[in-house]
Structure 1
């Protein structure tokens, strides 16, 4: 089975996480700038509440057997300091049912896709 690992991380950690994934053997990553809020419902500075905070979303498609290596790489690199902080992000894992190559229209095996994201 193939899975998609989605990591919502602090934008200032993005380059470091991308480098760590590359060094771990995962060069294919899609990065999307996103905005949102977590359990803290945003950030309050004085009387101003910022309820949509800038984050980066990284998408990585890997065989299920390799997902924990990818997750550990992200956790170890995206965490702020040694203990971590609120707002460091979340990681979501979902099964990938089908994979298609746009240029050829060919359906790839979900067991062994050509693990390239957009």
Structure 2
């Protein structure tokens, strides 16, 4: 099993969510995060100064069976890309075991 973490643009979340559902990834966790980007340009908008280095992003945490790893990554890459700097990152980790709390069941079947 794999844990896939993705940091994406908030504006692309709806597209990524739809793409994940289309490939059969129907459960994942997400939350809003503030990231620090490479670009350090100060901007002024309506008289208020702000840094473009602090950027609002959405963080996705997805656990999939090994056979869904590349399908999930491809869905995020295709639907989350704008071609601009700041589209985000994907991280992949091994997961040793999962358990369904309700039944005590363990293994890859708990992801369905």
Q: For residues 100 and 113 of structure 1, what CA distance do their matches in structure 2 show?
A: 9
**1:44 and 1:108 mapped to 2: Cα distance?**
50
Task: Pick from 48, 71, 77 the counterpart of residue 73 of structure 2.
Answer: 71
Q: Cα RMSD over matched residues?
A: 1.9
Shift in alpha-carbon separation, 1:51–1:23, aligned structure 2, 3 A:
same
Larger Rg: 2
How far, CA to CA, are the matches of 1:54 and 1:9 in structure 2? 9
Question: Unpaired segments of 5 or more residues in structure 1?
Answer: none
- Please state how far the C-alpha of 1:50 moved relative to its aligned partner: 4.1
Structure 1 moving runs of 4+ over 2 Å? 38-41, 100-104
More helix by share: 2
* Aligned residue pairs, count: 108
The answer to whether the 8 A contact 1:35-1:52 is kept is: yes
Which residues in structure 2 correspond to 1:4-43 (within 5 Å)?
4-41=3-40
TM-score (norm 2): 0.84
Unaligned regions of 5+ residues in structure 2, if any?
Answer: none
Matched, 1:114 2:110: yes
Conserved? CA contact 2:8–2:57, under 8 Å: yes
Q: CA deviation at 1:103?
A: 3.1
